[in-house]
Structure 1
Amino acid sequence: MNTFRCCLRINYLSQYQQIRLIHRIRGKPPIYSRTIKERLDELNFKDELYTTRVDIGLPLAKKTSSKARKERLEHSKSVKSNKNLEELARKCMLEIDLEQSKKDWLHSLGPVHKKQIADHYGVFEHLYGEGFFIPQLNLEIFYDIKDDTCLPVYYGNIIKPAEALNSPLVSYESDGNTLWTLALSNLDGHLTENDKEYVHWLVANIPSNSIEKGDVIANYLQPFPLKGTGYHRYVFVLYKQDGRISYDIPLITSSSSLEERTFSTRDWYQKYQDSITPVGLAFYQSDWDPTVKEFFHKTLNLKEPIYEYDFPDPYIRPQEWYPRRKPFNLYMDKYRDPKQINKEYLLRKLKNEDPFKAPPPPLRFPNAHPFPKSMPSWLKLHEKKIRLKWGRVNDV
């Protein structure tokens, strides 16, 4: 009879929840719960209106598949028919013209590779949101450092602030009838607003490739990545203008404050998107060095902000009248000033120092020298550590 009642109870409960081996299973039964795919789709849901990517650059010159296949076949035939190349490659004596290979790369897969690298670093996402472009125009940028050497800007290479104190040399291919705009901004360095940038350089209405003849809207400002914030991305973007443009931006000089350099590439481009088109891209990364402190103190007249971990003070429990199983000296030192403790160790070290005499030889067998019988055990341990140079005596 009891067995029958138990079965009825189990059948009654199974109508509302799953029971396995008389244990209740949490959650809804599989026939009512959502599948893993449904749950993942809900977690990863993105509104297409705000996530669909938009190409804001110039359209690529499309090649038909038959034409590209024909070019590859002709190239492979010419290489295979040249027996001299095969012999040099077998003897490890084949030399490649790097300049020509770079030109071939820039005219073939180079722009697509640049776009992939920029996506990897999140450049387009933080510049334009859902917008992106394929940098079809090669942008060559060099920072002139001393000793007749130049430091190039590629696609994510590291350049220290001390190496980028002055404006770089910028060159690109252009005819004489085109106007350009060059913008340099820091995507990671705004001090007060996370979704804003600092414009470090902005030159408009550049005739051909003569940067010095353009209208300087924002004077060049050296990079200043803050200490403790890691690498900052500094992005150069070259825009092609449809005609001469008068940007509604106040003139920013070297004496302007950082608040005046607050910039949003997305809002700025959205305002002038009918007149400018991005075609060139280059960027580098930079982290803190001592010139940043000098820049804040001398140029901005501000105290340098430093980001670091703020560790809380260790918890010390209230003092007891009769602490048990705790060394007397170590227990009392918890409630003393560490500077006073270090001072005592230092005075003890300097007590036997004489500038006119050689220091006494160390004990050959430190533990072989007995202590007075009247000395307490905690003090014996303390003196033994000092003889063996263990513990806090080495911190002074």
Structure 2
Amino acid sequence: MPLITSDQAAESALRKDGIIPDVIPEFHSKTMLIVSYGNGKEIALGNKLSAEETQQSPEVSFQADDPNDKYTLIMTDPDAPSRSNPKNREFRHWIVSNISGSSPTAIQPANLSQGTILTPYMGPAPPKGSGPHRYVFLLFKQSTSNLTLATPLSHDRPGFKSKQFSNETGLELVGANYFFAENP
């Protein structure tokens, strides 16, 4: 029986639920991205959480290649206002850049308070009856020690494009995770 790695399982889940190609291109995970909310609710590649459980910003953990590396974290909803009518794809929920790397030998919580908040956290709020929404966390390694934007992000959150943003800012996708939430 072939051995399946956690990276292969993650990529398979991302494909199965359409994160690849709706949000990100094909990629090979380089670190496990662990996201957990203060109530002990951990995100696990497509599990279901309620919107109420996810209103406060979560703790994020990952293993850095080098403690001097910097990272950018994005949380996005590609299903706005619904998966069948994603005219506002993607809705930008959170962006934190210039996150310092942690130990290269262990997965450790990231100190997000030391990063640069480009978009303040906004918890999930799927429209009532719109079905399950995918809330996607993307971790990017920065090519420079401090991410600066040529043009500031607009105040509008709908219509964001993670692929375009990462290409324009020289970011390399290294980890992803996601969950579902809905408002029946």
Aligned partner letter, 1:199: R
Larger radius of gyration: 1
Q: Secondary structure at the match of 1:221?
A: coil
- The equivalent of 1:206 in structure 2 is 99
Say which of 43, 50, 73 aligns to 1:182.
73
- The equivalent of 1:156 in structure 2 is 46
Check the 8 A contact 2:73/2:96 in 1, yes or no: yes
Check the 8 A contact 1:140/1:153 in 2, yes or no: yes
Please give the alpha-carbon distance, in whole angstroms, between the structure 2 residues aligned to 1:247 and 1:283.
26
**Structure 1 position 266, deviation (Å):** 2.5
Please give the alpha-carbon distance, in whole angstroms, between the structure 1 residues aligned to 2:150 and 2:87.
24
Check the 8 A contact 2:77/2:91 in 1, yes or no: yes
Please give the alpha-carbon distance, in whole angstroms, between the structure 1 residues aligned to 2:182 and 2:55.
14
The answer to whether 1:217 aligns with 2:89 is no
Which structure 1 residue ranges, 5 or more long, are not aligned?
Answer: 1-104, 290-396
- The equivalent of 2:33 in structure 1 is 139
The answer to whether 1:250 aligns with 2:152 is yes
Please give the alpha-carbon distance, in whole angstroms, between the structure 2 residues aligned to 1:223 and 1:156.
15
- The equivalent of 1:114 in structure 2 is 10
Say which of 167, 174, 182 aligns to 1:279.
174
Please give the alpha-carbon distance, in whole angstroms, between the structure 1 residues aligned to 2:88 and 2:151.
19
The answer to whether 1:173 aligns with 2:63 is yes
Check the 8 A contact 1:181/1:241 in 2, yes or no: yes
**Structure 1 position 137, deviation (Å):** 0.1
Check the 8 A contact 2:80/2:88 in 1, yes or no: no
**Structure 1 position 268, deviation (Å):** 1.6
TM-score (normalizing by structure 2)? 0.84
- The equivalent of 2:163 in structure 1 is 266
State the Cα deviation string for residues 308-350 of structure 1 (Å, max 9, x = none). xxxxxxxxxxxxxxxxxxxxxxxxxxxxxxxxxxxxxxxxxxx
Aligned partner letter, 1:185: T
Check the 8 A contact 1:197/1:264 in 2, yes or no: yes
Say which of 194, 199, 202 aligns to 2:87.
194
The answer to whether 1:124 aligns with 2:20 is yes
Q: Secondary structure at the match of 1:217?
A: strand
The structure with the greater share of residues assigned to helix is 1
**Structure 1 position 269, deviation (Å):** 2.4
Q: Secondary structure at the match of 1:141?
A: strand
Report which structure shows greater RCO (CA 8 Å, sep ≥6): 2
- Cα–Cα, structure 1 residues 155 and 249, in superposed 2: closer, same or farther, change >3 Å? farther
State the Cα deviation string for residues 20-55 of structure 1 (Å, max 9, x = none). xxxxxxxxxxxxxxxxxxxxxxxxxxxxxxxxxxxx
Please give the alpha-carbon distance, in whole angstroms, between the structure 2 residues aligned to 1:126 and 1:251.
21
Aligned partner letter, 1:176: P
The structure with the greater share of residues assigned to strand is 2
Please give the alpha-carbon distance, in whole angstroms, between the structure 1 residues aligned to 2:61 and 2:183.
28
Please give the alpha-carbon distance, in whole angstroms, between the structure 1 residues aligned to 2:166 and 2:141.
12
Please give the alpha-carbon distance, in whole angstroms, between the structure 1 residues aligned to 2:48 and 2:86.
25
- The percent of aligned pairs where both chains have the same amino acid is 25
Worse-superposed segment, 217-226 or 188-197: 188-197
Please give the alpha-carbon distance, in whole angstroms, between the structure 1 residues aligned to 2:73 and 2:132.
23
Q: Secondary structure at the match of 2:37?
A: strand
Please give the alpha-carbon distance, in whole angstroms, between the structure 1 residues aligned to 2:89 and 2:153.
19
Aligned partner letter, 1:189: A
Q: Secondary structure at the match of 1:144?
A: coil
**Structure 1 position 195, deviation (Å):** 5.9
Which structure 2 residue ranges, 5 or more long, are not aligned?
Answer: 102-109
Check the 8 A contact 1:114/1:134 in 2, yes or no: no
State the Cα deviation string for residues 93-121 of structure 1 (Å, max 9, x = none). xxxxxxxxxxxx9xx71101100110000
